[in-house]
Amino acid sequence: METLIKFLEWWLTKFPDAVDARLDKMSLRGYGLEAPLVTLVWLVFFFWLFAHPAAASTTGAILAVTLPFVLPFRLWDMYSEARLEYWKVRKFSETKFALLEIKLPEDLTQTPYAMELVLRSMYQTGGATTPYHAYYGDVNAQFSLEIVSDGGRIHFYIWCRDKLKALVESQIYAHYPTVQVVEVPDYTLKMPFDAAALILWGVEFSLQKPDPWPIITYKELGLDKPGIDEENKHDPIASVLEFLGTAKQGEHIWVQMNIRAHDKGMSCAGKAPIDPKTGKPVGIEEWAKIEVQAIADKFKPTAENDFSSYMRMTAGDRKNQEMIQEKLNKQLFEVGIRTVYIAKKEDADRGKTPFGAGLPSIYRSFEHGSAGRGLNGLAPVFWNGPFNFPWHDFMNLRRHMLMERYYDAYVTRQFFQPPHKHPHIVLNTEELASLYHFPGKVVATPTLQRMPSKRAEAPSNLPV
């Protein structure tokens, strides 16, 4: 019995890992040959069964005995998953949303901490408050923080549920009293999708290291200190805005950060470790403990009662442990970052499309070190290519299909539910405020749209 259990464990866990490693080593995935190889293996297997009636009879008998016990459970899982996805899509489509544009004054003086306070009000966890609401697809409220370049003219937007519009407006005015917030039509509708006439390309972003590791924030750069002169500030968001400002007439660059509250106990996505008890990815708190312990394990004593190894832990390793633990001290959001470059073919600039390194590099200023050295940073994820060989994409069919799906995902702001459910990351309010805030004069991008005057209330002593 023990031998059978070990065989099943090897077959279900180690064998697939070994196959994945072998496929990567043979570069089959890189050349797009993984699917043809798997199909060929199955065809050979079926032909072998056809040529060996005795083996086919034995296989049929095994299936006839096992399927009645396995198939009902599998069908129930498929039904439960499909039903939940249906209700989530239905609830999302029935919800009314609003798009707010934030118009900035010329002399904005608030630090990114003001945006962190605004983001705290968006930490809404009242979606699925009971099992009944979760059963019918209710989820936490979703917001989208957006920076848009329309021919080089930069705009800031926040997309939210219509019933939360007043909350967002009031919190922005509370911490940015000189800005102006107006509800506007959706800018994406100005560029309807047409694969024959448009160049559309984009990337999403994940983290270079596991989610508990923080990215660089405004506090590390000293931007939380209000007394610093504008010329002495170094705001990493300036790199993003300067790139967006390079768009020419007819070019459009869209950046959105879809966010929703991450409750304690919720599973993470992406490369989170699997909890052996539940079979699901662990939560962010447990994941952080694993990462902190992994740093300590590098200095694990080699002999009993030998604690000299811990004395060799560097100050950098101790700081990394502290930074991971500090990340959990603030509200956490599930975040999906998506960027789009879209233009008519005659207006497109190849330097910002797949032939250049524009969009994938816009968040390099938020890295602690290249390729994950230091703490963490954002890494691009390519969803619509590249197709390097002719058999990857016959007559551009896959490219056009992926372009349309990517466009639809951006326009609908879907990241956490089907049909555009993608792996998200977890950031806290300090990290989010570093990636999205309203810049002061330190950002001198000439195409950043600013109001020539302040917003202010009328004097109270005016005659009626």
Look at residue 429 and tell me whether its pLDDT is greater than 90: yes
> What pLDDT is attached to residue 27?
47
Tally Cβ neighbours within 10 Å of residue 211.
27
User: pLDDT-derived band of residue 130, with 50, 70 and 90 as boundaries?
Assistant: low
Cis peptide before 386 (omega within 30 of 0): yes
Look at residue 458 and tell me whether its pLDDT is greater than 60: no
Q: Which of 54, 79, 104 is the last residue of a domain?
A: 79
Q: Which of 79, 103, 128 is the last residue of a domain?
A: 79
Q: Quick one: 251 and 113 in the same domain?
A: yes
Q: Quick one: 108 and 185 in the same domain?
A: yes
- Mean pLDDT for all residues in the chain: 80
The winner for highest mean pLDDT among 3-7, 133-137, 240-244 is: 240-244
80-102 residue pLDDT tens: 888 888 888 888 888 899 999 99
349, 249 in Cβ contact below 8 A?
A: no
Q: Quick one: 221 and 344 in the same domain?
A: yes
What's CA 45's distance to the chain center, in Å? 40
Which of 415, 104, 432, 443 lies closest to 240 in space, CA to CA?
Answer: 443
On whether residue 366 sits in a domain, the answer given is: yes
Provide the 3-class DSSP secondary structure of residue 360.
helix
What mean pLDDT comes out for the span 159-177? 93
> What pLDDT is attached to residue 144?
95
On whether residue 175 sits in a domain, the answer given is: yes
In terms of pLDDT, which residue wins out, 85 or 121?
Answer: 121
> What pLDDT is attached to residue 205?
92
> What pLDDT is attached to residue 26?
46
Tokens of 57: 């009879």
Provide the 3-class DSSP secondary structure of residue 365.
helix
Look at residue 169 and tell me whether its pLDDT is greater than 80: yes
pTM of the model: 0.80
Q: Which of 46, 79, 112 is the last residue of a domain?
A: 79
> What pLDDT is attached to residue 15?
56
Distance CA(164)–CA(261), nearest Å, equals 14
In terms of pLDDT, which residue wins out, 213 or 354?
Answer: 213
User: pLDDT-derived band of residue 34, with 50, 70 and 90 as boundaries?
Assistant: low
Percent of the chain residues topping a pLDDT of 70:
76
Tally Cβ neighbours within 10 Å of residue 330.
18
Structural domain boundaries, residue 22: 2-79
On whether residue 354 sits in a domain, the answer given is: yes
Q: Quick one: 12 and 59 in the same domain?
A: yes
Q: Quick one: 71 and 113 in the same domain?
A: no
Look at residue 410 and tell me whether its pLDDT is greater than 60: yes
Q: Quick one: 129 and 68 in the same domain?
A: no
Q: Quick one: 100 and 75 in the same domain?
A: no
Q: Quick one: 230 and 328 in the same domain?
A: yes
> What pLDDT is attached to residue 385?
63
Q: Quick one: 27 and 138 in the same domain?
A: no
Look at residue 18 and tell me whether its pLDDT is greater than 90: no
What mean pLDDT comes out for the span 413-436? 89
On whether residue 302 sits in a domain, the answer given is: no
Look at residue 118 and tell me whether its pLDDT is greater than 90: yes
DSSP string, 108-166: ----HHHHHHHHHHT----SS-SHHHHHTT----EEEEEEEEETTEEEEEEEEEGGGHH
On whether residue 329 sits in a domain, the answer given is: yes
Q: Quick one: 214 and 354 in the same domain?
A: yes
User: pLDDT-derived band of residue 416, with 50, 70 and 90 as boundaries?
Assistant: confident
Q: What spatial distance separates the first Cα and last Cα of the chain, rounded to whole Å?
A: 92
Domain count, the chain: 2
What mean pLDDT comes out for the span 431-451? 78
Q: Quick one: 7 and 45 in the same domain?
A: yes
Q: Quick one: 100 and 60 in the same domain?
A: no
176, 279 in Cβ contact below 8 A?
A: no
Rg (CA), the chain: 26
294-351 residue pLDDT tens: 888 877 766 665 555 666 777 888 888 888 899 989 999 999 999 999 888 887 776 6
On whether residue 289 sits in a domain, the answer given is: no
On whether residue 379 sits in a domain, the answer given is: yes
On whether residue 264 sits in a domain, the answer given is: yes
47-69 residue pLDDT tens: 877 787 887 788 778 878 888 88
Look at residue 122 and tell me whether its pLDDT is greater than 80: yes
What mean pLDDT comes out for the span 238-243? 89
Distance CA(174)–CA(155), nearest Å, equals 20
Distance CA(224)–CA(166), nearest Å, equals 27
Lowest mean pLDDT among 38-52, 131-145, 158-172, 388-402: 388-402
Which of 163, 195, 153, 167 lies closest to 395 in space, CA to CA?
Answer: 195
- Residue type (1 letter), 12: L
Look at residue 265 and tell me whether its pLDDT is greater than 60: yes
